[in-house]
Structure 1
Amino acid sequence: MLIYIYLSVIMSLSGLLVFASKRKHLLIMLLSLEFIVISIYLNLLLFLSQMHYDYFFSMFYLTMSVCEGALGLSVLVLMIRTWGNDYIMTFSFLW
């Protein structure tokens, strides 16, 4: 059980590292955010199984994370259709 906790911490830290270092492309940022969401989901499942709770909250969390992923993908498609790329640093309206 301890190895799964270490795995989720390593997954979270590696997702945060990629998110912080690759901040030029929106697609890579969205992928790293989804990786962080998966690691948090693994952490949530470990906690719920350790405490012998019901897994209803994990289904609610998955639903919200899918909605977040779909919203991020729609923003990415809108940006690519409008400006032709997903480089965040080229947009002056964000800063």
Structure 2
Amino acid sequence: MLISMNISYFMYFMGVLVFTLKCKHLLLMLLSLEFIILSLYFGIYLVFSLYLYEYNFMMIFLSMSVCEGVLGLSILVSMIRSFGNDYFHSFNVLW
């Protein structure tokens, strides 16, 4: 069980590292955010399977993460339609 939690921590920190280093394209940032959410989901699954045996929160977390992914993809599609690329520096023009 300890090895699985360490794998979850490693996945989380690698996702954060990729998110901070690959900030040029919006698609890479969205993929790293999804990887972070998958590592959090894996960690929550490990904790709940060990202690609580309540999986209702996991379904709520999974549905919220799907909504977050859909919102990110809709922003990506609107950005590509407006600017023609997914460079994050062209997205900062809107602010």
Please tell me the TM-score bracket, short chain as reference: over 0.9
Aligned to 1:69: 69
Superposition pairs of residues 15-54 of structure 1, within 5 angstroms: 15-54=15-54
Structure 1 residues without counterparts, runs of 5 or longer: none
- Partner SS for 1:51: helix
Aligned to 2:85: 85
**Counterpart contact for 2:83–2:90, Cα < 8 Å:** no
- Alignment RMSD, CA only? 0.9
How many pairs are equivalent?
A: 94
**Counterpart contact for 2:34–2:69, Cα < 8 Å:** yes
TM superposition shift of 1:53: 2.5
- Partner SS for 1:6: helix
TM superposition shift of 1:89: 1.2
Write the letter of the residue equivalent to 1:30.
L
Structure 1: 4+ residue segments shifted above 3 A:
none
Structure 2 residues without counterparts, runs of 5 or longer: none
* Whole-angstrom distance in 2 between the partners of 1:93 and 1:65: 25
Identity %: 54
